[in-house]
Each structure stands twice: as structure tokens, then as C-alpha cells.
Amino acid sequence: MAYMNKSIEEIHKALINKEVTVDELIKESLEKSKEVQNDCNAFVTILEDPKAVEVTDDLLSGIPYGVKDNYSTKDVLSTGSSNTLKDYVPFFTATSIENLEKHGAIMVNKTVMDEFGMGGTGTTGHTGIVTNPWDKTRMCAGSSAGSAAAVAAGVYPYATGSDTGDSIRKPAAYCGIVGYKPTYGMISRYGLFPFASSLDHCGALTRSVKDAAIVTDGMKGIDKYDMTSWDSKDINLYDSIDGNVKGKKLCYIKEICDINMYPDADDELKQHLQNFHEKLELAKQLGMEVEEVSVDQTLLNAVPSVYVVISCAEATSNMSNLTGFIFGPRAEGDKWDVEMKNYRTQGFSPLIKRRFVIGSYVLQAQNKDRYFHNAQRVRRLLVDKWNELFEKYDAVILPVGSGPAKPLEGSKNILDQSTAVLEDHLQIGNFGGFPSITIPDGFVNNLPVALNITGKCYDDVNVLNIAYALESKMDYKGQTAGGAK
């Protein structure tokens, strides 16, 4: 009997009742890992001999899981899916992974990602392209592509991810699972390879909202090594979920959700938005109030540009330590500066180098105010607008992307201006550090699509509860790839 396609609660119950052993779970997860590796190329490293632990009352104890390859794991290869760190083995473990280990969780593999988290396709990792388990001709999105593919394929009930723009939530949407990034600082970033520090969030990819709460409870906590972390010991996400949402108020944004905003909409987009509006009616049936609001289109149109400028600037600074002298394989050259130039020129993919060039350009003294400071100002306007919405509404609910997973063939990491805001509005959750969760809401052409719920900072319980209530009334929960209706 298979267990890795079940929920954390179900697996824990089976362990407690001695229907299955930890060793049997590990064996099943490793066998499934190898199968999915052949199909989807989801892993950088599959561990040879993970050790079993004692099963306790802790829901995570004895259950296998996956770790995105930008989390430091002591004595286990941690590459960030980059050739510049292809042989890097850390001497310490990220705090959030240590926390999971304290709960008895068992890491069985490290998952492929877009190089250093930069890219939304799952195609730029140094080990190759990650394919979608629902359809191998489609992408998983990124950067947490391997984690999303593995959870969707039933390798284990959850995997860790990181989210700088939508890197947990978009892959979750494309793979028909749940993707959750909590309020900024709820989970320590110590040991996570930094991409853009003011935007980076740790989080989880699961197959249900309750599982997302369980995993986040296991990962979170204040950390002396991360000054942006905060004390959440009095918040128990899992125990707080009750599905009671009567009287809650949701809003959706006309400029993003109205099909008339997209005169060239294809059938996939039309069906996707229709699905979304059907779920708004479901929310009303659950006793929630749902209202349409309007946000200045000019402000919304600025979202992708603000993200590019700020993320590239912070990445350029954060990754200046990648020289080949401290980390990674040393490059050839007769002088130190030649070695460093060769290391960075030959080691990084073209996408990464473009982003570093953009970051360096916008931080130059003559450009900084025009680009970087202006991006920061617009970021503030966007965050202020969302906080204004949160004064009246419990959450903002929006569709994720312009439809199901995009085809790999012919797709490029280039912005489509006609649907740019629809594709990139999740970045606002990173601008403000807001708790944000993506849940499946149906299928288009037999491929999963999703909606997103975002709330105000520190209101994670409310966001998860709304998501749980909606999920509970839909058929799209606990599903693995191949389970399309």
C-alpha cells in the first residue's frame, strides 16, 4: 500500500497504529524519488541512506520530505542549482531545516530549482529542466520547480521552498498543489542562500492547507542568527484552523480579474477566470462577503518592473561573495582577478548574468535614484494600497497566472505585456511581507489551475482558515498528478 500520496495526518496515524514503519516510508519515498527523477528531473541529490527516527506524538515524526537546494544542509550537497556551487557541501544546516529535524522529519532528497532562485520556469538549474508531472511537455514554473513536481507526484507529502516573487506559489499552482509563504520573518532565513533579502521568504509546498500549517509550525520560530525573524511561539497554525469563515470579507481586483481587460484572451485564460469567479460564488455560499475593488492600472502595471529592479539590485550585492575563492570550484587564471572573472563568466547561466548586469546598473551612482530609489518608492505605494485594502477586507483573493502550466517548447522567460499583471501580482505579497497561499481551484485542459489568498502581516491564521474553508468545499485537495477530473 502506498503512503507517500497521503496527508501528513493520515501517514502519522498509520505510523502510530503500526500499519507502516518509518523504514518502509523511507524506502517508498526513495523508490518514488528515483521514478520521478527519470520522469521529471526533480532532484539534485537523492540520499542513499536516510536514518529512521522514533515515532512520537509529533505529526512530522518519521515522515520523509524534500528540501529545496538553496537550503544549507550539513554534509549534504547544496548547490542552489548552479555550476558555481556544484560541489559545495555546507558545514551547517539552515535553522528551518534544523527545526524540522527536531520534530523528527526525515530529509530524503534535495530538489532542483531555477539557478539561485532566479527565474520562473524551472529550466535554468545546472542539472537540467524540471518537467511537470501532469504533462511532461509543460513547465512547473519556478524557482521551486523540483519541490512542486515531487510533492505533486507523490514522493512525499511536503517539501520546503523559497519565495522571492512567487517561487513557491506559482509552481504549486502549475502542479496542482498548495503553496504557502507565511508572513516575512515567521520562518528564519538563516542558512537559505540569499537572493533578494527584503523579498525572500521560506515556506512549504504541500497537498493540503492543513499540511501547510503543520509544516510551517515545524519550520517557524525566532532565530538569533536572523534579525528579521520574530517570535511566533504563541501562534499555532494547525490548531487554529476550524473552517469557520462566516462574516469574513474578501475582495478581488477588477483590473486583474475582469476578462474584458484581456481582449486577446485565449480559451485557457477564459476558462481559468471562469473557474475563479465560480469560486467567488462558493466563498459567498460559505458565508463570506466578496466585493470587487478597483486599483489604479498604472500602479499595477509597475509591479513587474519594481520586482526586477529591486530583486536584481539585492541579488548583485548578496552574491558578490561568489568569487571561486570561498565557495565552489576555483577557476583558472594567472591572476586573482582573472580567476574571479572566469569563475563568474563561465559558472553562471546567461539569465543570472543578465540579472547581475541589471542589478549593477541600477545601483550605479548616476542611476540609483532614477531606478532603484524610484522602485522602492513604488513598492511603498503598492504596499500602502494593499494595507488600505486590509483595513476593510480580511484578504485579497485573485487567480494565479493566466491559466495552466505553460508549454516548455517555445516558452521563454520574457514578460507578456498583455497579461503581465495577472502573471506577476503575487510579487506584491513579497513587497509587503504578507502571508500568501495558493490552492488548486480546478482544471483547464486537464491541467490544474489555482487561486491565491493574501492577507495582512501576522494574520496567517486568518489566511489559512479562509483557504481551508474554500478547499474543504472543492474536489481539488490531496491530489497527485494524474488525478484530474
What's the Cα-to-Cα distance from 77 to each of 90, 102, 160, 296, 423, rounded to whole Å? 7, 21, 16, 46, 33
Phi then psi for 387, rounded to 5 degrees? Answer: -65, -35
Q: Collapsing DSSP states into helix, strand and coil, what is residue 119?
A: coil
- State how far the Cα of 467 lies from the Cα of 178, in Å rounded to an integer: 10
Q: Find out whether 87 and 132 touch, Cβ atoms under 8 Å.
A: no
- How far does CA 133 lie from the centroid of its chain? 17
- State how far the Cα of 92 lies from the Cα of 98, in Å rounded to an integer: 10
Q: Which of 51, 151, 172 is nearest to 106 (CA)?
A: 51
Q: Which of 254, 249, 250, 262 is nearest to 294 (CA)?
A: 254
Candidates 72, 143, 162, 229; catalytic one: 143
- State how far the Cα of 119 lies from the Cα of 130, in Å rounded to an integer: 13
Can 167 be counted among the known catalytic residues? yes
- State how far the Cα of 12 lies from the Cα of 64, in Å rounded to an integer: 11
* Pairing of the two strands 131-132 and 436-444: unpaired
Q: Find out whether 252 and 293 touch, Cβ atoms under 8 Å.
A: yes
Q: Collapsing DSSP states into helix, strand and coil, what is residue 68?
A: strand
Can 7 be counted among the known catalytic residues? no
Candidates 33, 96, 167, 229; catalytic one: 167
Q: Provide the sign of the torsion angle of the four alpha carbons 43, 47, 48, 49, taken in this order.
A: negative
Can 143 be counted among the known catalytic residues? yes
Residue 484's H or E segment, with its range, is none
Candidates 68, 210, 279, 406; catalytic one: 68
Q: Provide the sign of the torsion angle of the four alpha carbons 207, 208, 211, 217, taken in this order.
A: positive
Q: Find out whether 279 and 451 touch, Cβ atoms under 8 Å.
A: yes
Cell numbers 532565530: residue:
223
Phi then psi for 238, rounded to 5 degrees? Answer: -60, -45
Q: Is 11 exposed, middle or buried (0-12, 13-18, 19+ CB in 10 A)?
A: buried
Q: Which of 158, 194, 229, 186 is nearest to 72 (CA)?
A: 194
Could you tell me the three cell numbers for 136? Answer: 511532461
Q: Find out whether 192 and 94 touch, Cβ atoms under 8 Å.
A: yes
Edge to edge, the sheet with strand 201-206 lists 43-46, 106-111, 64-68, 158-163, 201-206, 178-181, 436-444, 447-454, 395-399, 249-253, 289-293
Q: Point out the residues that are catalytic.
A: 68, 143, 167
